Structure 1
């Protein structure tokens, strides 16, 4: 759930951020407005609203989680696009008559991708926690599909007699999120070109 929804958010957010950072003016204003509106809602409240309006299901959760991750990718891609579009090689490509789509895809996007890729594991970790929270509240993945949050919720009633029903899924959830955060930090230090320029 976390990976698929994060990939959806990264595709939409990166595309919108590239357009906003490269074309600026009206496009930038519109995309930034959409991102700011989405960011103004707390993620968990927005997810609770989506799952209460629509019945909790895997597609509904995927769309909701992707929607909450899109604004961060929009901002990240937009900021990086603005930085890279003012570089000499982009100006040289523009002066040689390269089209906007060629400049975006061949010159700017390869330089934006490492930063986005380094941030992706952190977003996946946050989305896993968000989905687990919804499942714990009973608004996540419906049974019998397993979910760590649902397992913790189901085991809470047996906490006194069988504490492992809570501690095992909670530990696995913690270790997964911790590992993704460490992977994201490692990728950021290794591939984020802004740290080396």
Structure 2
């Protein structure tokens, strides 16, 4: 019986490894070719798998994209959880901005690909994104944000679409540009030196 359980565990580990390889390969192809130009067959061919093997792990290309975005969504949730425990509005805003900037810099290739793809897919689970969006707005501006505060907050989410214009910047330069711009948009004065 132990051999059977070991074989099952080994098969499950191999299946998870294959799933991860599909996900990594798809992300690379999405970044290189664009989401719309990448097919499930191309992903399968790149890995030497059948299209059916890819379908076994992901029912559709949009499921691969959702799986690729999930760690980012989870990171935003964690960032918001951390911000809830920060008393000062300024410190809370700076924490959220630095976390958002870290995410954008780390995933800048995917952000550029997503913003320039003419057939970019819609977010699959808008309710989850909407909850995170509303939570962030409340953490920054309270229960009754003004129109200007709501506009500033929503403007922040257009920033990823601007990254394709900034591909010449190093990660450090991009980090600095994003941080100062986002803090200005959210009306957090720069610390005095």
Per the normalisation by structure 1, the TM-score is 0.30
Per the normalisation by structure 2, the TM-score is 0.30
